[in-house]
Structure 1
Amino acid sequence: MSRACENTVVVGCGAVSVDFLAIVAAYPKPDEKIRTTSFKVQGGGNTGNALTCASRLGLKPRIISKVADDTQGREVLRELEADGVSLEGTSPFTYVIVDSQTKSRTCIHTPGYPPMKPVDLPKSSLLTALHGAKIVYFDGRLHETALVVAHEAVKKNIPILMDTERLREGLDDILKLADYVVCAAQFPQAWTEASTVPKALVCMLLRLSNIKFVIVTLGKDGCIMLERSFNEGPSTEEMEVDRLLESLETRKNRSSHIPTCITSSVTKLHAEGIGTVCGKLYVGTAENVPPSELIDTTGAGDAFIGSVLYAICANFTPEKMLCFAATVAASKCRAIGARTGLPYHTDPRLATFMK
Structure 2
Amino acid sequence: MDADATARLLCVGDIDMDLIVRVPAPPSRDGKVDGRRIAQTPGGMAANVAVAARRLGTRTRLLGAVGDDALGREALAALTSEGLDLSHVATRHGEATFFCVILVDDEGEKSLVKVMSPAFLPRADEIMAAAFAGVAHVHLTVARADPGLAVAAMARAAGATLSLDLEAADLPADLPQGGGALADLLASVDLLFVSDRSRAAVEPVLGPLTSEGRAVITTRGRQGAMLERSGTRTQIPGHRVPVTDTSGAGDAFAGAFLSAMLDGADDATALCRANAAAALSTRAYGAQAGAPTAAEMAAFLDVDGVRDA
Q: Does 1:301 align with 2:306?
A: no
What is the distance in 2 between the residues matched to 1:313 and 1:319? Answer: 14
Aligned partner of 2:92 in structure 1 is none
Aligned partner of 1:154 in structure 2 is 156
Q: Closer, same or farther in 2 for the Cα pair 1:7/1:353, shift >3 Å?
A: farther
Paired residues of 1:25 and 1:99 also in contact (CA < 8 A): yes
Q: Does 1:113 align with 2:113?
A: no
What is the distance in 1 between the residues matched to 2:62 and 2:182? Answer: 19
CA RMSD after TM alignment: 2.4
Q: Closer, same or farther in 2 for the Cα pair 1:91/1:173, shift >3 Å?
A: farther
Shift of 1:103: 2.1
Q: Closer, same or farther in 2 for the Cα pair 1:176/1:95, shift >3 Å?
A: same
What is the distance in 1 between the residues matched to 2:155 and 2:248? Answer: 26
Paired residues of 1:15 and 1:141 also in contact (CA < 8 A): no
Uncovered stretches (5+) of structure 2, i.e. residues with no partner: 89-94, 173-180
TM-score of the superposition, structure 1-length normalised?
Answer: 0.73
Aligned partner of 2:191 in structure 1 is 180
Shift of 1:8: 5.2
Q: Closer, same or farther in 2 for the Cα pair 1:353/1:91, shift >3 Å?
A: farther
Q: Closer, same or farther in 2 for the Cα pair 1:92/1:143, shift >3 Å?
A: farther
Aligned partner of 1:262 in structure 2 is none
5 Å matches for 1:1-355? 9-29=8-28, 30-36=30-36, 38-87=37-86, 88=88, 89-100=95-106, 102-113=107-118, 116-121=122-127, 126-140=128-142, 143-166=145-168, 168=171, 170-193=181-204, 203-206=208-211, 209-211=212-214, 213-228=215-230, 279-289=231-241, 293-347=242-296, 348-349=299-300
AA matched with 1:66: A
Shift of 1:324: 0.8
- Asked which structure has the greater CA Rg, the reply is 1
Shift of 1:181: 0.7
Q: Closer, same or farther in 2 for the Cα pair 1:190/1:32, shift >3 Å?
A: closer
Paired residues of 1:28 and 1:34 also in contact (CA < 8 A): no
What is the distance in 2 between the residues matched to 1:146 and 1:81? Answer: 25
Per-residue CA deviations over 1:32-67 (Å, capped at 9, x if unaligned) read 24131x510111111111110001000111111111
Instruction: Number of aligned residue pairs: give it.
Output: 281
SS at 1:53 equivalent: helix
Q: Closer, same or farther in 2 for the Cα pair 1:40/1:158, shift >3 Å?
A: same
Q: Closer, same or farther in 2 for the Cα pair 1:205/1:27, shift >3 Å?
A: closer
Per-residue CA deviations over 1:158-193 (Å, capped at 9, x if unaligned) read 100111112625533321111111112233333332
TM-score of the superposition, structure 2-length normalised?
Answer: 0.83
SS at 1:204 equivalent: coil
Uncovered stretches (5+) of structure 1, i.e. residues with no partner: 1-5, 195-199, 229-278
Q: Which runs of 4+ in 1 moved over 4 A?
A: 350-354
SS at 2:295 equivalent: coil
SS at 1:47 equivalent: helix
SS at 2:55 equivalent: helix
AA matched with 1:11: L
Paired residues of 1:8 and 1:313 also in contact (CA < 8 A): no
Per-residue CA deviations over 1:80-119 (Å, capped at 9, x if unaligned) read 111112221211000001112x321110001222553212
SS at 1:215 equivalent: strand
Shift of 1:350: 5.6
AA matched with 2:124: P
Paired residues of 1:224 and 1:282 also in contact (CA < 8 A): yes
